Chain A
């Protein structure tokens, strides 16, 4: 089973600034990596798939990068609605699909 590790667990950033979230896989997942955003009481929403492709309707301030074992989600010019929990997920080697433990992005 591939273990996904996200860092940091909590990230405090001011509105208008940039946030950088990291995700590391215990073995290569090529570019089969997705990022999801989850707000309290809501379902996860797909932001990025194939490591760097934005999902339909996702603003351009969200960008993903990386391949192999190290991945990054960057959110530029943070808006109030961006403060949420973010999960990475690999879909290279499955079952099982595995998720990271999440990064909580909070307002500084």
Chain B
């Protein structure tokens, strides 16, 4: 059974940093692309960043480019999101989502339960 467990969320001041993790199990992690998608309180879904199964290709939304970095450690079956220069508008639940193939053009077929990031002074 596919399982994705996010961690690392919390309260951080504007301008601060936070690193999210997503521990994956139940599938061959290195064979699948994974993404981060966020959801601000009471709002819809917003794609944040994606990384291929091998880790050699990454993509990020313009709203986070230059501030957020996606990475993965296939030896640890873990996805990361390093978030720097955080802003109030980054406040959201952050979900990790597995794609159905090794490249990012596949659909996301399983999602974790999310971790809440709150940016506030």
Contact = CB atoms under 8 A, between A and B. Distances in A.
Q: Judge: A and B partners, yes or no.
A: yes
Interface of A: 32, 34, 36, 42-46, 49-50, 55-56, 87, 89, 91, 94-102
A25 to B, nearest CB: 15
Interface in B96-119: 100, 104-114
Contacts of A42: 113
Contacts of A91: 105-107
Interface of B: 35, 44-47, 50, 59-62, 95, 100, 104-114
Given A46-B107, A46-B110, A96 B45 contact: no
A99 B44 contact: yes
B47 A43 contact: no
Contact of B109 (A46, A94, A96, A100): A46
A94 B105 contact: yes
Given A94-B59, A95-B50, A96-B61, A43 B113 contact: yes
A99 B35 CA distance: 14
A99 B107 CA distance: 12
A89 B45 contact: yes
B60 A87 contact: no
Contacts of B95: 43-44
Contacts of B46: 99
A55 B100 CA distance: 11
B112 A49 contact: no
A49 to B, nearest CB: 4
A91 to B, nearest CB: 6
A36 B106 CA distance: 15
A106 B72 CA distance: 39
A91 B45 CA distance: 14
Given A43-B112, A95-B60, A95-B61, A49 B107 contact: yes
13 contacts: A34-B107, A42-B113, A43-B95, A43-B113, A43-B114, A44-B45, A46-B110, A89-B107, A95-B50, A95-B59, A96-B62, A99-B44, A99-B46
